[in-house]
Amino acid sequence: MNAMVSTGQHINEQETGHKRKEKRCTLVGMTSDICLSALKIVTGFVGHSSAILADGIHSIGDTVTDVLVYAMVRLSGKGVDERYRYGRGKYETLAAFLISIILVIVALGLMTEGISDVWAAIQGETLERPHNIALIVGIIAVIVKESLYHYTRLTGNKTGSKALQAYAWHHRTDALSTAATLLGVAGAMFLGEKWRVLDPLAAIGVSVLILFLAYRMGRPAAEELLEASLPPEEQERISAIVTHTPGVQAFHNLRTRRNGNLRVVDMHIKVDSDMSVSDSHEITRNIERQLSEELGEVMANIHVEPYHGNNNCEKHEHHIS
């Protein structure tokens, strides 16, 4: 029990700095999205641009996403306690999965609207020419969102946060969506009425890209929520560490999974049957240390068994010569 509490305290201390960066990054994104949403909606009305107005309404969805991510980051930052012995890392995974669902909904909405506008253009309908302010605000929005993408992605990579990594791509897709809108706005302003169909055509193309990005983010998050094992290359590294640890005669029942930033590793190792409890415990600590150095944050649950040669081997047991 004391060993578990000690491990939990270590994990909590290690995560404190990361969670502070994650919260600050999410707050920056939240504030920016609120400002951009208001600016686009006002510009859409004043500048007579239905495209910018629609993009502003779409940005409201970003604000909802910001609130979702921030809530999840705060919950996951509480760390290990009596109720959550493995921490709250799955909250971040859940946030990443929910963001992917939101992206799917947004993409389908953009695609439907784009198809409707293309059909309207085919029927001879034309859009009103937007004012210059619509183009200026659109350019500003693209620059801001692309900057947020790089900032959030960098922070997510440094902290290992799945939620922030997913959130970064959400900024990128919003920047692409606004850029597509700008094509339509610019075409309507400078190329004549017949080129205003560029807006819905670009929106359809971006919606396909968003669907692809949503799949790329949602699949690993879903796998983690369903307790999928770590990637094969990481399992091979774990096996190599155990194999080369002095005193380990065999190991089996290796099970792995992720819990947010934390990798959980369960295994049974076999040591000499005459080895003392103190020595066998030192072997497990050696394995835990190597796993943390190799993989990052790891919670290892290692069960020690006596080794009696190949006569009592378990299924899928790895013997060490």
Kindly report the backbone phi and psi dihedral angles of residue 107, in degrees, each rounded to the nearest multiple of 5, phi listed first: -60, -45
- Is 164 found in the same domain as 193? yes
- Is 136 found in the same domain as 253? no
- Is 272 found in the same domain as 142? no
- Is 137 found in the same domain as 68? yes
- Is 214 found in the same domain as 274? no
CATH number at residue 258: 3.30.70.1350
> Pick from 225, 259, 274: which residue ends a domain?
225
**Contacts with 69 (C-beta within 8 Å, 6 or more apart), sequence order:** 26, 29, 95, 99, 163, 164, 167
Q: What is the strand order of the sheet 262-272 is part of?
A: 298-307, 262-272, 250-259, 318-319
> Pick from 175, 199, 225: which residue ends a domain?
225
User: Which amino acid, one-letter code, is at 39?
Assistant: L
Q: How high is the pLDDT of residue 120?
A: 81
User: What residues in the chain have per-residue pLDDT under 70?
Assistant: 1-19, 50, 57-58, 60-89, 127-128, 199, 202, 261, 310-321
Query: Which pTM was predicted?
Result: 0.61
> In sequence order, which ranges of the chain are alpha helices (DSSP H)?
2-46, 50-76, 89-122, 132-159, 162-190, 198-225, 232-243, 277-295
Q: How high is the pLDDT of residue 303?
A: 92
Q: How high is the pLDDT of residue 5?
A: 45
- Is 237 found in the same domain as 181? no
Q: How high is the pLDDT of residue 11?
A: 47
- Is 239 found in the same domain as 211? no
What is the number of domains present in the chain?
2
CB 75 within 8 A of CB 88: yes
CATH number at residue 110: 1.20.1510.10
CA 97 to chain CA mean position, Å: 8
Ramachandran sector of residue 263 (left: φ over 0; alpha: ψ -120 to 50; beta: rest): beta
- Is 81 found in the same domain as 134? yes
C-alpha pair distances (Å), 247 with each of 3, 86, 156, 261:
21, 28, 38, 30
Alpha-carbon span 98 to 100, nearest angstrom:
5
> Pick from 225, 242, 259: which residue ends a domain?
225
Q: How high is the pLDDT of residue 88?
A: 65
- Is 218 found in the same domain as 112? yes
Q: Using CA of residue 289, residue 93, residue 175, residue 134, what is the dihedral sign? A: negative
- Is 206 found in the same domain as 96? yes
- Is 157 found in the same domain as 265? no
262 lies in which domain range?
232-319
C-alpha pair distances (Å), 99 with each of 23, 210, 224:
17, 12, 15
Q: Which two tokens stand for residue 307?
A: 């080794």
- Is 236 found in the same domain as 219? no
**DSSP SS3 for 152:** helix
**Contacts with 316 (C-beta within 8 Å, 6 or more apart), sequence order:** 252, 253
Q: How high is the pLDDT of residue 6?
A: 45
